[in-house]
Structure formats: C-alpha cells, structure tokens
C-alpha cells in the first residue's frame, strides 16, 4: 500500500467510528497530535496537584485532611496512568517531565492561578473538577483506544472528587458569613478561568484532532454543557456569578454567555506559560526534580546483592 492508500484507509476507519491502538499504523500527524494532547492532560493532572497541595496543610478537620490528600493522590495517579499512555506513542516519561518542569510544554490554564483559602478547595473540587469531567467524559469516545480505557477509570474517580468538592461547597454555603464569603471570593477569582478552560470556539475545518475524532466535541458545546449543569446549582446556593455573566435563554432553555462578553486576554499570557503562578510552580517542581535525580536513579537501577 502506498502512503496515500494507507492514509485513506485510516481516514475511512475513523469516519466509520473505528478505534486506533498504539501498535496500529497511524499518520504522523495523528500520532503527534494525540501525544501532545495526552501529554498536556498528564501535565495538567500533576500540575493540578500543586494548587490544592497549598491548602492541604491547613485543612480544617481530620476528615477533610484525609479526603483532600486522597483527592490529590488520585490526580497524581492519573498523571501516572496518562504518561504511560503517552509513552507508548514514543516519548519517554522522563522527557515529558523534563519538558514540563523546564517550561517547554503546556498544562491547563486553571492551574496557573493562585489559591488563597479553603474556598479554593471547594471551588476546585466542585467546579474545576466538574469542568474537567465534562471534557473527559466526552473523550471516553475518543478514536484513540488506549486513552479511552484510562479515561474510564479517571472519570469514575473524578465523580468522587466532584462529590468531595460539592460536599465542601455545601458546608460553606450553609455555614457562617465568613464561610459563604470564602466560596464567593473563590468564585469571583476563578469564574473567567473556568470559562477559558474549554477554550475559544473550535474550528472543525482546521482542528485535526476533531476531524480524526480524537476530540469528540467542540469547545463551545462542552462549555455549554458545563453552564447548563452548574449555573443553576451555583445560583440555587445563593452565590453571585461574576462576568462573564450567564443568562437563561427562555426559548432554548440554555444558560448562555455571549462570545463578546468573554475577555480572552488573560489566557494569552498563560498560553506562553506566563500566568500569575506559572513561574513559581514550575520552579518548585523543577527544583524538586533536579535535586532528586538520585531518587530516580535508585528507582531504575537494579538492586544488587
């Protein structure tokens, strides 16, 4: 078969809803695109541990201290699973971690922001994990089969995180004035970043990952699903959603945000790895990585007698 014939057969296979395994033939652009996508997902899981670890030491009860620790542990475990899937596409984990800590690769926008107090633990657990779950649930139908298999496990655990986050939020919502303030303050600081999380409108003509069904939904559809699911709940708890403010479109029943109300400017810096906390968090992880090379050496070296 010529390359063009192989490519045609691959495209037909995808168009018919077929899946791709690591050892199957695939166009280079597919391999590179999937690798980059999963690598960014893995990076995001491990960088996502950092904001929450900052509130872990002051968790207010024994139960919360354990459950938040367990939750962050899950995120790190997800990174471990995802790096393994990415490795099979041809890039060793150490190279991925090295690229991450040296600022050569990307991670999700929401993990570039600071945390201030326990309200952030509630918000991250509920709304950011909620947003991630909307995206990840859609990816369970991705054309890259190894990714879908780990996503099934990841989504099951994310469901638990969502409950953990919702539970903390409900305690704050029904608590003292200060506790209610904590969640509102977190919401005020994080809302725009959550809207950015889904990305600008997709361009299906240009987006290879959509065409090859690695991604199964457009960014705007995923954002819409999130808004319809969470906006009523946030309002029901009596919190106020800051700009960009969603409104209920009576005709469609959807909670909408007008495109022109979204300020994309803050996302530009983050795309260059220049967000409010990017440098500090990457430097922390890099220091940890560089100072402990001997640990990795000891892990990989066979034990002598």
Partner 1 sequence: MTSALVPLLLALGDDELVLGHRHSEWTGWAPHIEEDVAFSSIAQDEIGHAAAYYALASKHLDRTPDEIAFGRSPGEYRNALVCERPNGDWAFTLARHWFYDHAEELRLGSLEGSSDPALAGLATKMRREERYHLLHADMWLKRLAHGPMEGRSKLVEALGNAYADALALFDDIEGEDQALKEGLMTTSSAELRARYQTSITEHLDSVGLSIDAAPHDAEFVASSSGDLIETGENGTSSSRPESSGGRDGVHTKDFDELWEVMTLRYREDPKATW
Q: Which stretches of the chain bind partner 1, using CB under 8 A?
A: 46, 49-50, 52-53, 56-66, 69-70, 72-73, 75-77, 79-80, 83, 117-118, 168, 171, 175-176, 178-179, 284-285, 288-289, 291-292, 294-299, 301, 303-305
**Nearest alpha-carbon partner for 296 in 144, 158, 121, 97:** 97
Q: Distance from first CA to last CA of the chain, Å, rounded?
A: 52
Nearest approach in angstroms of CB 75 to partner 1 is 8
Q: Using CA atoms, how far apart are residues 279 and 107, in angstroms rounded to an integer?
A: 13
Nearest approach in angstroms of CB 262 to partner 1 is 30
Nearest approach in angstroms of CB 271 to partner 1 is 24
Give the nearer residue to partner 1 in terms of CB position, either 15 or 295.
295
Residue entry with tokens 């400017």: 265
Strand partners, 68: none
Residue 201: alpha-carbon gap to chain centroid: 18
- The number of residues making up the chain comes to 305
Give the nearer residue to partner 1 in terms of CB position, either 223 or 285.
285
Nearest approach in angstroms of CB 129 to partner 1 is 15
Q: At what angle do helices 145-173 and 62-87 cross, to 10 degrees?
A: 160
Give the nearer residue to partner 1 in terms of CB position, either 7 or 170.
170
Give the nearer residue to partner 1 in terms of CB position, either 96 or 133.
96
Give the nearer residue to partner 1 in terms of CB position, either 59 or 162.
59
Nearest approach in angstroms of CB 99 to partner 1 is 15
**Nearest alpha-carbon partner for 74 in 200, 202, 164:** 164
């Amino acid at each position: 078969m010529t390359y063009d014939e192989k490519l045609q057969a691959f495209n037909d296979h995808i168009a018919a809803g077929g899946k791709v395994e690591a050892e199957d033939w695939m166009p280079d652009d597919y391999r590179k695109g999937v690798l980059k996508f999963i690598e960014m997902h893995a990076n995001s899981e491990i960088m996502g541990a950092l904001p929450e670890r900052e509130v872990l030491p002051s968790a207010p009860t024994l139960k919360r201290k354990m459950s938040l620790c367990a939750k962050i542990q899950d995120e790190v475990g997800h990174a471990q699973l995802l790096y393994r899937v990415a490795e099979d596409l041809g890039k060793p984990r150490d190279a991925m971690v090295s690229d991450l800590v040296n600022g050569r690769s990307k991670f999700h926008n929401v993990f570039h922001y600071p945390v201030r107090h326990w309200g952030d633990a509630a918000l991250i657990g509920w709304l950011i994990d909620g947003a991630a779950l909307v995206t990840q649930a859609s990816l369970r139908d991705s054309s890259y089969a190894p990714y879908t298999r780990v996503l099934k496990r990841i989504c099951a655990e994310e469901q638990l995180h969502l409950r953990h986050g919702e539970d903390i939020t409900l305690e704050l919502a029904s608590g003292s004035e200060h506790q209610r303030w904590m969640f509102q303050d977190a919401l005020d600081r994080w809302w725009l970043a959550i809207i950015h999380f889904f990305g600008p409108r997709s361009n299906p003509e240009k987006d290879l990952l959509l065409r090859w069904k690695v991604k199964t939904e457009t960014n705007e559809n995923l954002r819409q699903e999130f808004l319809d699911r969470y906006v009523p709940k946030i309002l029901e708890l009596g919190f106020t959603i800051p700009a960009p403010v969603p409104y209920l479109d009576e005709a469609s029943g959807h909670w909408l945000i007008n495109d022109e109300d979204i300020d994309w400017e803050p996302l530009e810096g983050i795309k260059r790895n220049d967000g409010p906390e990017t440098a500090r968090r990457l430097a922390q992880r890099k220091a940890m990585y560089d100072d402990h090379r001997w640990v990795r050496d000891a892990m990989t070296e066979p034990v002598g007698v």
